[in-house]
């Protein structure tokens, strides 16, 4: 066992890619993702206005748009084509068109057609703009309606507002109350990258051992035992990476944690083992590191998209659901959400997390069959020589 550890340290010292994937690359990736979303809350998105009416009422509507926290009206255009060009040139995220007959339509009780254009391909930005536009329009409509009620002379300001907005909605977010995008996105992106790091690093250390010792010496007469011993050297490193980002999120940054870290650490341990099994499977499928990396890239690339964090699982098609079920990190993220947001008991989290993870015993059995096949082929080639 001591000789084995020495040999693995020797491999690390001589394989810079392997050493990098286990040390500074995961740290740099995690910090980069956090830095990108460190502002946390989206504010003052630049938008434009084409005011064809240019009246007191139209300027009031513009002020309502500018008053929202998400939007900032810092571009005013005289014609629609100029606004469209600025929008296409990414100078603004949206533009609003106030028609010429805006005032007249309001006075005669005809709803004016105010148009807001935005790029719905930017899903999160589009959602913010749509929500802010509805908020601004609602506030403006309430003001106009209240003024109409007051002009009748038989209402107080409070009664006028009550008649204008008879039903008030109160929307209370239960989790991520501040709509913190860093808390929402980074806590899912980093685990997705962590899964990629584990699978890729597993292929790298297997390739390093295969290159130095050869297949027969690497797996020996007891492949399962030797693989467990080899993986046991790197497993604490991967687990340390996972625990580190949990501590960074929920201790250093102080993000809300309703549950406990202990069941999450258990879930991370099982996730690391599952990811290492996947890495072993891809490597022993061909014994070609380049092809194994290609398989790993294709398999793990959709991790974040298929997690069910930004896109609901219930709306995924059958293929996406199957792919999601094969990704270890998709099961881990459910355990993380159950602890971080729902404050579920440790037993409930572990009970729901463990059964799907047992499915990774199947590729483990396939790995042993693949190793047996490669060893047999190696013996046949040796005898033929």
Q: Which residue, among 59, 39, 38, 46, has the nearest Cα to 132 in the 3D structure?
A: 46
Average pLDDT over residues 330-342: 94
Q: Which residue, among 337, 325, 271, 267, has the nearest Cα to 299 in the 3D structure?
A: 325
pLDDT reported for residue 299: 95
Is residue 7 exposed (0-12), middle (13-18) or buried (19+ Cβ within 10 Å)? middle
Placement of tokens 């870290």 in the chain = 261
Length of the chain: 385
pLDDT tens per residue, range 99-124: 888 888 877 777 788 889 998 888 77
pLDDT greater than 60 at residue 383: no
pLDDT greater than 50 at residue 71: yes
- Give the separation between CA 7 and CA 209, rounded to whole angstroms: 9
pLDDT tier at 178 (50, 70, 90 boundaries)? Answer: low
Question: Which secondary structure element, helix H or strand E, spans residue 342, and what is its range?
Answer: none
Placement of tokens 């989790």 in the chain = 175
Is residue 239 exposed (0-12), middle (13-18) or buried (19+ Cβ within 10 Å)? middle
pLDDT reported for residue 381: 66
At the topology level, CATH places domain 45-164 in: abc type-2 transporter like fold (3.40.1710)
Q: How far is CA 98 from the centre of its chain?
A: 37
pLDDT tens per residue, range 128-163: 888 888 888 877 777 766 666 556 655 555 554 555
Average pLDDT over residues 51-80: 88
pLDDT reported for residue 298: 93
Asked if residue 106 lies in contact with residue 57, where contact means CB atoms within 8 angstroms, the answer is yes
Give this prediction's pTM: 0.82
Average pLDDT over residues 62-74: 88
Asked if residue 126 lies in contact with residue 119, where contact means CB atoms within 8 angstroms, the answer is yes
Query: Which of 208-222, 287-301, 353-367 has the weakest average pLDDT?
Result: 208-222
Average pLDDT over residues 260-287: 96
DSSP code at position 314: G
pLDDT reported for residue 152: 61
Average pLDDT over residues 264-270: 97
pLDDT greater than 70 at residue 91: yes
pLDDT tens per residue, range 14-61: 888 899 999 999 999 999 999 988 876 778 889 999 999 888 888 888
pLDDT reported for residue 160: 47
Strands 115-118 and 94-98: antiparallel
Q: Of residues 265 and 183, which shows the higher confidence score? A: 265
Helix (H, G, I), strand (E, B) or coil at 41: coil
Average pLDDT over residues 86-96: 91
At residue 236's C-alpha, the angle toward residues 223 and 308, to 5°, is 95
pLDDT tens per residue, range 192-208: 999 999 999 999 999 99
Domain ranges within the chain, ordered by starting residue: 2-37+181-384, 45-164
- Give the separation between CA 199 and CA 297, rounded to whole angstroms: 9
DSSP 226-272: HHHHHHHHHHHHHHHHHHHHHHIIIIIS-----S-HHHHHHHHHHHH
If you compute the radius of gyration of the chain from its CA atoms, what whole number of angstroms results? 29
Q: Please list the alpha-helical segments (H only) found in the chain.
A: 2-14, 16-22, 24-36, 56-67, 80-88, 102-107, 123-151, 157-164, 181, 187-219, 223-247, 261-286, 289-300, 303-306, 318-326, 328-340, 346-357, 361-384
């Amino acid at each position: 066992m001591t000789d084995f550890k020495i040999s693995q340290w020797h491999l690390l010292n001589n394989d810079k890619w392997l050493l990098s994937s286990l040390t500074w690359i995961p740290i740099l990736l995690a910090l980069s993702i956090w830095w990108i979303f460190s502002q946390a809350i989206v504010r003052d998105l630049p938008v434009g206005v084409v005011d064809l009416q240019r009246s007191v009422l139209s300027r009031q509507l513009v002020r309502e748009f500018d008053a929202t926290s998400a939007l900032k009206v810092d571009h005013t255009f005289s014609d629609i084509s100029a606004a469209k060009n600025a929008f296409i040139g990414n100078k603004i995220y949206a533009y609003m068109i106030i028609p010429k007959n805006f005032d007249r339509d309001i006075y005669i009780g005809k709803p004016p057609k105010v148009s807001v254009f935005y790029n719905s391909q930017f899903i999160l930005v589009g959602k913010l703009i749509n929500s802010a536009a509805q908020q601004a329009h609602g506030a403006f409509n309430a003001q106009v309606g209240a003024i109409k009620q007051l002009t009748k002379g038989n209402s107080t300001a409070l009664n006028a507002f009550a008649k204008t907005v008879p039903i008030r909605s109160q929307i209370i977010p239960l989790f991520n109350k501040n709509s913190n995008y860093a808390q929402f996105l980074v806590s899912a992106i980093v685990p997705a990258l962590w899964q990629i790091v584990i699978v890729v690093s597993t292929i790298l250390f297997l390739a390093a051992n295969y290159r130095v010792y050869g297949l027969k010496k690497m797996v020996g007469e007891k492949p399962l035992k030797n693989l467990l011993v080899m993986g046991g050297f790197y497993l604490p490193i991967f687990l340390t990476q996972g625990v580190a980002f949990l501590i960074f999120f929920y201790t250093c940054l102080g993000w809300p944690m309703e549950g406990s870290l202990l069941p999450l650490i258990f879930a991370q341990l099982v996730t690391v083992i599952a990811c290492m099994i996947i890495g072993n499977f891809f490597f022993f499928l061909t014994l070609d590191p380049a092809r194994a990396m290609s398989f790993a890239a294709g398999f793990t690339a959709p991790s974040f998209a298929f997690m069910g964090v930004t896109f609901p699982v219930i709306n995924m098609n059958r293929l996406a659901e199957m792919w999601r079920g094969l990704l270890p990190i998709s099961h881990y993220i459910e355990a993380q959400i159950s602890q971080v947001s729902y404050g579920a008991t440790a037993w409930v989290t572990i009970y729901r997390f463990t059964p799907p993870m047992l499915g990774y015993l199947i590729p483990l059995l396939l790995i042993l069959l693949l190793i047996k096949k490669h060893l047999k082929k190696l013996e046949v080639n040796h005898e033929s020589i």
